[in-house]
Amino acid sequence: MSVKDLVLIEGLEIRTVIGIYDWEREIRQTVRLDLEMAWDISRAAASDNIEDALDYKSVSKRLISFVEGSSFGLIEKLAEQCAQILMNEFAVPWLRLKMSKPGAVRGTENVAVLIERGCID
């Protein structure tokens, strides 16, 4: 049976040290995460028990803790690290993660990377 269900977390904003310029290393900037995570929700739907679900509150808290405490030059590196946390600690088999850095380039609303990791059977 293939998993076709997705658990979404959209617009998770976290302040962190991110950037390659000296002035960026001295301030905290906002990054925004949008996540799509493959998860078979049938057990949780049947049991109505959080232990059978992908607990999006726990996922969010873990990512907030990691990102707030991190310091990277590139959002590419930060996005990859977040993906690894989700796959290794929460057993997410597939994910699509968009990491945005709002206002990073003058005249733009946003710059971002979008990555997919894992596979859906």
61 noted as active-site residue: no
pLDDT surpasses 50 at 1: no
Mean pLDDT across the stretch 14-18? 97
Q: CATH number for the 6-118 domain, one of 3.30.1050.10, 3.30.70.980, 3.30.1600.10, 3.30.1130.10?
A: 3.30.1130.10
- pLDDT digits 0-9 by tens, 21-62: 999 999 999 999 999 999 999 999 999 999 999 999 999 999
The angle subtended at Cα 34 by Cα 28 and Cα 36, nearest 5°, is: 145
**Bigger pLDDT: 2 vs 5:** 5
11 in Cβ contact with 32 (< 8 Å) = yes
Q: Residue 7 has which token pair?
A: 């658990």
Catalytic residue among 57, 77, 98, 101: 101
**Bigger pLDDT: 121 vs 7:** 7
List the chain domain ranges. Answer: 6-118
User: In whole angstroms, what is the distance from residue 23 CA to residue 90 CA?
Assistant: 35
How buried is 41 (Cβ within 10 angstroms: 0-12 exposed, 13-18 middle, 19+ buried)?
A: middle
**E runs forming strands in the chain:** 6-18, 29-38, 71-72, 94-100, 112-118
